[in-house]
Each structure stands twice: as C-alpha cells, then as structure tokens.
Amino acid sequence: MKEAALILFGAVIGFFVSRFQSALDKRRDAKNEFRVFVSLTKGRIPKEGFVTFHAATKKEIRDATSRLIPSLRACAVQTVESACAAYVDIDEQTLDDEHEEDLRREALASDKLPVPPKPSDILKTRLDRLYESIT
C-alpha cells in the first residue's frame, strides 16, 4: 500500500514537472522563432527600395509580434510592443533611397548641411531593437 502511494505521488509530481517544462519549452521556442524571423528580415534589407521593403514587412512584423506575445510574461509585452511600434511607425520620408547614397551624404556634409541617417541603418537599428526586446 505504501509503495503504491509513493508510485502515485511520483507520477503526480512527474506530471506537474513535465507540464511546467513543456510551458517553458513553448516560451523558449516562440522566442527563438521570433528571433530567427527578425534575423531573416534583417538579412533581406535591400540596397534600394527601402519604402517598398518597409511597407511589405510591416504586416509581417506585426503578425510575428502577435504570435509571440501570448508566450511572454506581462512585464515583457510592453517592451516588445514598443519595439514593434517603433519599426511599424518609421517615417517613410526617412527611407528615401537618396539618403543611402554616399556621394550625396558627403556633399551634404561638406556643405555643412544635416546628413540624414541611411535608410538601411534605420531599418537595421529598429530590427535590432525588436530582436533585443526579447529577454
């Protein structure tokens, strides 16, 4: 009788441990999937056509973020949503292909005019922020 109770107790403990481990694995897998998606998106940044690229990836970023959020702790959701909004809300004027040209950038600098950041750098920075928002 005592052995049966111990076996039953061990089975119950094992069940709860496996459920807990399963939840942790799902959370880890969701984070890894999101990180891979962001890395692949960053690798697809073109040499030109930044506005088109950004417009095409906004929905993808929102969808990936929406899939991730259920597996995050409440305290991390705000950070991820903020990083997603920062990417989605990039002003498309800052993504003008002309801002990527080094000769134009050098000309502006030599004329002591403000040199806008490169569109590719803007996109990379915002995607990096998304990647790093997952803790």
DSSP state string for 92-105: GGGG-GGGG-HHHH
Q: How confident is the model at residue 43 (pLDDT cuts 50, 70, 90)?
A: very high
Angle at 83 between CA 29 and CA 93, to 5 degrees: 130
* pLDDT average, residue stretch 38-56: 95
On whether the CB atoms of residues 59 and 87 are closer than 8 A, the answer is no
Decide if pLDDT at 108 tops 90: no
pTM more than 0.95: no
Total of domains in the chain = 1
Tokens of 114: 């403000």
The domain of 27 spans 2-132
Nearest to 121 by CA among 133, 105, 108, 109: 105
Q: How confident is the model at residue 67 (pLDDT cuts 50, 70, 90)?
A: very high
The helix (run of H) or strand (run of E) holding residue 50 is helix 50-68
